[in-house]
Structure 1
């Protein structure tokens, strides 16, 4: 149970890391005496981040004290799951007579599969996944002089196979891969492996930046679609991501990872005349870093000019100038693997 429990004075960022590590999207908040006093979800922390609350704040500041729980001495697993599903509640602790957590239950519990009204839909979902795999892989040279970046091995699979699996896990099986550099090798690879997902390709005759080729895909993309780099492996619930995008009626949603940066030196703060105002000794910064994963609604593709090189930052700035709705979906940096940089790639273990 330890990985599902957290003290009330724990910081937001540490809580997010614990939630990410336990895989249940929730933690039970306990007092110094070990009693349950609330729960925190990844959604609670995400909303706090978007409100620009400091990540060093204790979780007691956003604690949900009015939470559902079940009593140990009267607990019935089947009835509990039915109640969770009916109430659209995903997680609830089980407490003993002293309100100390002894277990928890979720709607994903194995017993739920026996309920007639519970059905996990395995049908392929309509939203397409576009993987931008045409880049040169400059950060991974000299390896990419021989092998294209998406086919770099990580464990017993290639990077692009890992990316595809992160989507197919949630039944997003319609994959469109854009190609340019070493496109024949990538096509040959997919002929060989024959994945269960529906894979199609689009060849960029000339490089058009990270999103420029989307101008030529307007007739193939309808409604919301995922767009991802071919070097970003993002381990999140894609259904949650899509629901966030839909609920907010976004034109684009950007997945950003929380990163802590520590400067090892004192930072000099000066005025316009070069006079020293103060020294910030070894400052720390909490930043939201673009991971290269997006959901885009096809209605904004008209802002990409045909045959014009356009990178994602330029595209997003154009949308903002035209007052389109662009939001950020924050995640823990533990959910993001950047395989496009050799220093980062070399730190990765098998996924």
Structure 2
């Protein structure tokens, strides 16, 4: 396991601060302590997601989203028995004063439990020119740019295959023959249906090529975003809420390196914040979509998928956000992000 300190946070943290700390450990959980280091609660990324979806704010105290009665054990033997009794993530071991002295998270590699099969079709939009990755994309289409040992599109496909999602529909345009040739020679067999754009149709218009091909909920993804969240949770949220579209969004946290001043009428200072932390949701380019959304598209219309989302909203259909932690999303759409992605995936 990571160092114990990576799993401990003070009760005074905000939701935003706790989320950043949760992102720093592999089990996505934070145990909250008082000023005497005693265990008083715990919070997971799922707890924070439910709190935010219910209307909670990132600036709220983390205790508002936390479980105030977490399970704990007095020794490792008790922790092991408790861990296997129910589907717990981590069991803290506390001393007689309630101070956390150790954690039990299962035996080696036990935390990597197999994913439940979803068997949902996956549509990947791979037709863009990838201008942000110029000059690399003068030679290769963006989906085939390697990140370590594999091109980004294959990394994305393998993540879906972990959930038994193996029916791939790929929309292509720019350098499409290179794309098809790569998979034709690939030693790992993929079940792929190809859809050729005759002209650029934007991030959403290419879906019109799939009319009549999809008859159930499907994933729709850009070819430059890798998501490591629990896909099963996304599907459950989508179906339980009856969404036409679920947009996966990541919380981004940015420290402004300046003092921020708020000004009122006449130049009066109404507030000041020194190097504030700004939090906002950003679209990852990954969605769950119902087939009737495809049926509504106009053949040959160039349109961005965010505009399709807005049209569905205007029709009165439910469109919603599924928020994920910042570290669950890797974006390789810019050259500066390629090296960061490689380091995260391969630890080099």
Scaled by the length of structure 2, the TM-score of the pair is 0.85
Q: In terms of mean alpha carbon deviation, does 15-24 or 280-289 score higher?
A: 280-289
Secondary structure of 2:178's counterpart equals helix
Is the counterpart of residue 207 in structure 1 residue 200 in structure 2? yes
Q: Is the 8 A contact 2:125 2:206 kept in 1?
A: no
Q: What is the rounded CA distance, in whole Å, between the counterparts of 1:37 and 1:52 in structure 2?
A: 24
Distance change (3 Å), C-alpha of 1:106 and 1:66: same
Is the counterpart of residue 72 in structure 1 residue 71 in structure 2? no
Aligned counterpart in structure 1 of residue 34 of structure 2, from 18, 31, 36 = 31
Q: Is the 8 A contact 1:131 1:175 kept in 2?
A: yes
Q: Is the 8 A contact 2:92 2:103 kept in 1?
A: yes
Q: In terms of mean alpha carbon deviation, does 57-66 or 182-191 score higher?
A: 57-66
Secondary structure of 2:295's counterpart equals helix
Distance change (3 Å), C-alpha of 1:76 and 1:264: closer
Q: Please state how far the C-alpha of 1:101 moved relative to its aligned partner.
A: 2.6
Q: What does residue 116 of structure 1 align with?
A: none
User: Which residues of structure 1 form unaligned runs of 5+?
Assistant: 114-118
Secondary structure of 1:211's counterpart equals helix
Q: What does residue 157 of structure 1 align with?
A: 150
* Correspondence 1:1-351 to 2 at 5 A: 1-72=4-75, 75=78, 77=80, 79-85=81-87, 89-105=88-104, 120=114, 125-261=118-254, 262=256, 264=258, 276=267, 278=269, 285-345=278-338, 347-350=340-343, 351=345
Q: Is the 8 A contact 2:250 2:284 kept in 1?
A: yes
Distance change (3 Å), C-alpha of 1:3 and 1:267: closer
Q: In terms of mean alpha carbon deviation, does 49-58 or 134-143 score higher?
A: 49-58
Q: What is the rounded CA distance, in whole Å, between the counterparts of 1:329 and 1:245 in structure 2?
A: 8
Q: What is the rounded CA distance, in whole Å, between the counterparts of 1:182 and 1:149 in structure 2?
A: 9
Q: Is the 8 A contact 2:118 2:232 kept in 1?
A: no
Distance change (3 Å), C-alpha of 1:45 and 1:210: same
Distance change (3 Å), C-alpha of 1:232 and 1:280: farther
Q: Please state how far the C-alpha of 1:295 moved relative to its aligned partner.
A: 0.9
Distance change (3 Å), C-alpha of 1:40 and 1:187: same
Distance change (3 Å), C-alpha of 1:107 and 1:76: closer
Q: What is the rounded CA distance, in whole Å, between the counterparts of 1:137 and 1:90 in structure 2?
A: 40
Q: Please state how far the C-alpha of 1:177 moved relative to its aligned partner.
A: 1.4
What is the CA deviation profile of residues 213-266 of structure 1, one whole-angstrom value per residue up to 9, with x for unaligned ones? 222313222222111111112221212222222232222111112123437586
Q: In terms of mean alpha carbon deviation, does 46-55 or 181-190 score higher?
A: 46-55
Q: Is the 8 A contact 1:134 1:181 kept in 2?
A: yes
Q: In terms of mean alpha carbon deviation, does 276-285 or 157-166 score higher?
A: 276-285
Task: Give the RMSD, CA atoms, in angstroms.
Answer: 3.0
Q: What is the rounded CA distance, in whole Å, between the counterparts of 1:111 and 1:236 in structure 2?
A: 18
What is the CA deviation profile of residues 249-303 of structure 1, one whole-angstrom value per residue up to 9, with x for unaligned ones? 22211111212343758678577xxx64658767653211111111112233232
Q: What is the rounded CA distance, in whole Å, between the counterparts of 1:338 and 1:280 in structure 2?
A: 35
Q: What is the rounded CA distance, in whole Å, between the counterparts of 1:112 and 1:154 in structure 2?
A: 26
Q: Is the 8 A contact 2:33 2:41 kept in 1?
A: yes
Distance change (3 Å), C-alpha of 1:84 and 1:125: same
